[in-house]
Structure 1
Amino acid sequence: MISSNIPYQELRYFSKIIKAYLEDSNQIKGLYHRYPRLENFGDQIAEKSQQHDLQETRQVLVEALGKQYRNVYDADAALQNIQLLKDDKTFTVVTGHQLNLFTGPLYFLYKIISTINLCKALKTEYPEYNFVPVYWMATEDHDFDEIKFFNFGNRKLVYERESAGAVGRLDTDGLENINEQLQILLGASRFSEELSNLFSQSYTADNLAIATRNLAHELFKQDGLVIIDADDPQLKSLAIPYFKKELIDQSSFEAVNETLKNWNDGFEVQVNPREINLFYLNDSGRYRIIKKDEKFFLDGIDKIFSEKEILNELEEHPDRFSPNVIMRPLYQEIILPNLCYIGGGGEIAYWLELKNYFEGQHIPFPILLLRNSALLINAKQLEKLESLNVDVADLFKKDHELNEQIIRQVSEIEIDFEQQKEFLKKQFKELHAVAQDTDPSFLGAVGAQERKQIKGLEHLEKRLLKAQKRKWNDHLERVAVIKNELFPNDSLQERQANFSYFYKDMGPELIDILKKSLDPLDPRFTVIEL
């Protein structure tokens, strides 16, 4: 099944800070707590066990999850794991994702499978403890445009509707139209009926949060995946002291900015904190809270709180306060007995800004693990690449780099003039010595002539390469067709394709292959032959 593994450091799709993190580089050691190695989880368990009020938190968590799972069908494995969360020897591994329509991009599966597989590895390493995989639904996000579609091959299925407020609270009216379009695209494929039923049974729910839970549960119910909706009054009540600090002291703004003052100039800052990193949330919208002149304003609407009023609102209605990207990680770690967060490159990058903030709040900073990334390729595509003398790893290059490499490989004539350039440099080195010994004023002229000759060779090399590209155009186009199939829009397949495009022919076997192929602790990109 595994065709090859490629180190992330060799691929252009991963940022400098993520590559530095994967190398456990001294450049960023101060930005994380423990590196994701199995042997480091023992200390993480010991530290998390000492978190203040964790045992009381477990009781509230189990009660809230029990209510959320009240109407979930065939949930024995998940319910068993929920009950295990009462035990002080049970810990979680968490991944999070938006409520993308029909899971959205493929990496939704990779995140969850990374989480499930890490729990299994931890149970083997630490058998005296229990480890529960958790999918944290981003139900409070308000950017509907990011989640309202998924791609099926080269078709984009879009759920067009008006939206406001948290996406998890949106009803599912009109989604039957998307299922009708999906059925047409699925045609008579082997698992078309199963996929259509999966869509309809999931999205007949009252809102997108419940629908997404139904969908993820159906795909991973045998693995005991616990799916959490943190837009919950009981769970929010656990965070009241921390939300209060945020409103009064702007604690996250100060801590994160302190980290960013010493940020390496070579690394991009993923997110910048606001002075208050909480929203005010109701059914009509999600509004940024702004403090000015001892008053609290809601951005976009005519609503003002005094300090006393907003703190009373927090105590009475904690569900009306919603953490943004800076504060959500802390909220997660407050309410879960969590050891590790598994996320994509962008997520890990913003978590790396938060360690100082966590320390100030006296909450253990979790281990951070980059989710698995993979490319799915079929035997026919591999066969074509082999006939064209192209490795899968070559397809990760930019188009012009790949084309140049191919031309140099297939051309019957030598295009590389490096040998001639070296010969010229040697000759001019001797001329430099002659000029130095006779008349140093000639050194500039010799240098200019050397540059002219080298530039001439480079020009000839480019013209020859261009001519060979015209000659081998058919060969290049055949490679381009396969690359476009595997890297749509010059992007990683996992960021474009939806699981249904592969599931329609493979069914549950697709999930099984991914579980067997993805090792969450292997810091390499996985190429999987289907």
Structure 2
Amino acid sequence: MPKQLLPYRDTGYFSKLMCDYLAKEETTIPFYNRFPSLESFEEQLEEKRASFSQESRATLVAQLKKQYGSLAVSESTEANIEAFGNDNTFTITTGHQLNLFTGPLYFLYKIVSAINLSEQLKEAHPKDHFVPVYWMATEDHDFDEINYFNLNGKKVAWERESGGAVGELSTEGLEDVREVLQNALGSSKNAKELVTLFTEGYEKHSNLADATRYIANELFKEYGLVIIDGNDPELKKAFIPYAEKELFENRSYKKVTETTSRLVTAGYKEQVHPREINLFYIKQGIRERIVAQEGQFYVNDTDISFTSDGINEELKNHPERFSPNALLRPLFQEAILPNLCYIGGGGEMAYWFQLKDYFESVEVPFPILLLRNSVVLVPQRLSDKLMKLEVDISRLFQKQEKLKTEYAHQLSEIKIDFSEQRDHLQKQFENLYTLAEQTDASFLGAVGAQEKKQLKGLDRLEKRLLKAQKRKLADRLERLTMIQDQLFPKQSLQERTMNFSEFYLEYGYGLISELKKELDPLAHEFTILYL
């Protein structure tokens, strides 16, 4: 497939922090460990190798085998799980919520980025082994963020009561969503594959975590992807020392607050505001914040409370009941995985930039941070239309009104620009100012007022001419904006709104293999991919 790369800064969709990071601006350097380039991984490898114990590796292998249970896995995935027992095996990790039927398109791009980087590292470091990992955010509790996906411009939602960690939610009721999906997709071969994937995932697995693992495994198992659920009693044991520091020292609050202050001073925004305790308590369908008051620990909006000794005993006996929030999840992840690099979107990267000092304070290696691949998929029929309209797709990243104005200027046989008239007018007024200086100040003011009035008049005339030309060119302008609406739904990036099923319906599994072939995780540019 042909592709086109565009600097992230030129898209207008990425934050100053991300653009400055990719440009290696000095203001960003204090907030990350190593820049994501192939050369950076050699030192990262040795740092992680020295800090990750054989005991942690053995626990990881055992728990992954339990989590996969009877799920059919590929030979490459099975081999990758076994390989975690070896001290030359490392992970490249991305994470995502348990969005219904994978949610937005960038779910695919995150995982493809991890797979491709793992393969690039294997080629560069043949003595070591690299495993792509998808970390399921099973402990999240924001059900309204994950209970839907968009299909053909409409929201397909799973309506039900929710509470506690979303990974534990029963999949009951999803047969209704499957019927909606089936009716919308039709009866083609690819449509049947999608409906089967949905049915096997959600109707043959009892909870959302198992269903999501099945679907991600089916889509990526041939590439050796390993899927992990951090909501695991044995894995949580490794987190106990860090949770103690959180409960009794407020370690993350102090360190993250200091770092965030420096980040804001450097001209960047705070992504996540740290709390004094960045832990939730999970039990029997609840997931609520832990707060401390006068030596007592309380679970917010419940009757549950602990003394200092009581909560310490609870942590030791039931570590699975303590759940890190968005700021602590990265530390938990790095504590239980032999990870070298975390791959995420701009928002995720932004809160990782608040964490480096905290990681150093608890002596956990800070991973390399990589902005995931971002992509706009352009079907042939739309690229053909753009070619006929003589518009490069890079122009479609603009706001729609600006796009229409620019295109009207391109099409108009009349020059919609009164710059020459403005220059001519201002030269005439220069002579008047010379004359005015020979009289009094009141006449000078009158000349200035008249100049301002005349220039405003030219502005109004130019706007009226533009408006008239837009009416005259309405047909072609409408054709262009319709294409933009299809490629940038709701004036947003395609990857943030559309679901993979719309493209799978036309291209089948070839969609994923083409993404795998075309996306370079270390290109550090936006990808326009022509299908």
Letter paired with 2:338: P
CA distance in 2, matches of 1:54, 1:453: 77
Per-residue deviation, 1:138: 0.1
Distance 1:447 1:260 in 2: 49
Aligned position for 1:344: 345
Which whole-Å CA distance do the structure 2 matches of 1:116 and 1:514 have between them?
11
Which deviates more from structure 2 when the two are superposed, residues 163-172 or residues 424-433? 424-433
In structure 1, C-alpha distance between the alignment counterparts of 2:451 and 2:411, rounded to whole Å: 31
Aligned Cα RMSD in Å? 1.5
- Unaligned stretches of 5+ residues in structure 1: none
Residues 460/283 of structure 1: CA separation in 2 closer, same or farther (3 Å cut): same
The alpha-carbon deviation at position 67 of structure 1 amounts to 1.0
Q: How many residue pairs get matched?
A: 529
Separation of aligned partners in 1, 2:443 and 2:83 = 84
Specify whether residues 413 and 157 from structure 1 end up closer, same or farther in structure 2 by C-alpha distance, changes over 3 A only.
Answer: same
Q: Which moved more, 1:236-245 or 1:38-47?
A: 38-47
Q: CA deviation at 1:453?
A: 2.5
What runs of 5+ residues in structure 2 fail to find an aligned partner? none
Contact 2:181 2:195 in 1 (8 A): yes
In structure 2, the partner of 1:42 is 42
TM superposition shift of 1:421: 2.1
Q: Note if contact 2:73-2:217 (Cα within 8 Å) is conserved in structure 1.
A: no
Greater Cα offset, 63-72 or 425-434: 425-434
Q: Which residue of 2 aligns with 1:21?
A: 21
Task: Answer yes or no: is the 8 Å Cα contact 1:296–1:310 preserved in 2.
Answer: yes
Q: Which amino acid aligns with 1:488?
A: P
Q: Which residue of 2 aligns with 1:486?
A: 487
Cα distance in structure 2, aligned partners of 1:3 and 1:441 = 63
SS in 2 for 1:151: strand
Question: Helix, strand or coil for the counterpart of 1:133?
Answer: strand
Counterparts of 1:323-338 in structure 2, within 5 Å, are 323-338=324-339
Distance across 1 between alignment mates of 2:22 and 2:427:
42
* Structure 2 match to 1:112: 111
What code does the residue aligned with 2:86 have?
Answer: D
**Does the Cα contact within 8 Å between 1:113 and 1:514 map onto a contact in 2?**
yes
Give the structure 1 partner of residue 451 of structure 2: 450
How many angstroms apart in 1 are the aligned matches of 2:218 and 2:431?
Answer: 75
Task: Please give the alpha-carbon distance, in whole angstroms, between the structure 2 residues aligned to 1:105 and 1:137.
Answer: 15
Q: Are 1:73 and 2:72 counterparts?
A: yes
Counterpart in 2 of 1:274? 275
Q: How far 1:441 moved relative to its partner?
A: 7.0
Cα separation, 1, equivalents of 2:530 and 2:79? 35
C-alpha separation between the residues in 2 aligned to 1:452 and 1:26? 46
Provide the C-alpha distance between the structure 2 equivalents of 1:19 and 1:356, rounded to a whole number of angstroms. Answer: 22
Match of 1:286 in 2: 287
Change (3 A) 1:37 1:432: farther
What residue identity is the alignment partner of 1:196? V
Report the Cα distance in structure 2 between the residues aligned to 1:174 and 1:165, rounded to whole angstroms.
18
Q: Match of 2:474?
A: 473
CA–CA distance in structure 1, aligned partners of residues 449 and 268 of structure 2: 38
Q: Distance in 1 between matches of 2:392 and 2:312?
A: 60
Aligned ranges 1:66-465 → 2 under 5 Å: 66-203=65-202, 204-264=204-264, 266-429=267-430, 431-432=432-433, 443-465=444-466
State the Cα distance separating 1:188 from its structure 2 match.
2.5
Aligned-partner Cα distance in 2 for 1:455–1:127: 68
Does the 8 A contact of 2:264 with 2:270 survive in 1? no
- Give secondary structure in 2 for the equivalent of 1:194: helix
CA–CA distance in structure 2, aligned partners of residues 468 and 384 of structure 1: 22
1:214: how far off? Answer: 0.4
Distance in 1 (CA, whole Å) between partners of 2:73 and 2:319 is 32
**1:435, CA displacement in angstroms?**
5.1
User: Do the aligned partners of residues 436 and 88 (structure 1) sit closer, same or farther apart at CA in structure 2, a change above 3 Å counting?
Assistant: farther
- Comparing 416-425 and 188-197, the one that deviates more: 416-425
Structure 2 vs 1, CA of residues 436 and 92 (structure 1 numbering), >3 Å: closer, same or farther? farther
Bigger drift between 429-438 and 126-135 goes to 429-438
- The whole-number CA distance in structure 1 between the counterparts of 2:224 and 2:427 is 69
Q: Which amino acid aligns with 1:355?
A: K
CA distance in 2, matches of 1:41, 1:415: 54
What is the alpha-carbon distance in structure 2 between the residues aligned to residue 502 and residue 486 of structure 1? 12
Distance in 2 separating the partners of 1:274 and 1:264 = 17
Kept in 2, the 8 Å contact 1:164–1:283? The answer is: no
Q: CA shift at 1:424, angstroms?
A: 3.1
User: Kindly tell me: are residues 464 and 351 of structure 1, through their superposed partners in 2, closer, same or farther at Cα, counting changes over 3 Å?
Assistant: same
Partner of 1:504: 505
Most deviating of 319-328 and 261-270: 261-270
**Amino acid in the other structure paired with 2:331:** L
What SS class does the counterpart of residue 141 from structure 2 fall into? coil
Alignment partners' CA distance in 2, 1:460 and 1:229: 63
Aligned partners of 1:444 and 1:128: how far apart in 2? 80
CA distance in 2, matches of 1:377, 1:501: 12
**Structure 1 residue 210 displacement after superposition:** 0.6
**Cα distance in structure 2, aligned partners of 1:425 and 1:345:** 46
Rounded to whole Å, the distance in 2 between the matches of 1:161 and 1:332 is 30
Residue 489 of structure 1 and its aligned partner are, at CA, apart by 1.1
CA distance in 2, matches of 1:75, 1:214: 12
Greater CA drift, 286-295 or 151-160: 151-160
Matched residues in 1 for 2:505 and 2:200: separation?
Answer: 17
In structure 2, C-alpha distance between the alignment counterparts of 1:31 and 1:449, rounded to whole Å: 54
In structure 1, the residue corresponding to 2:263 is in which secondary structure?
Answer: coil
Q: Structure 1-normalised TM-score? A: 0.97
Cα offset for 1:345? Answer: 0.6
SS in 1 for 2:6: strand
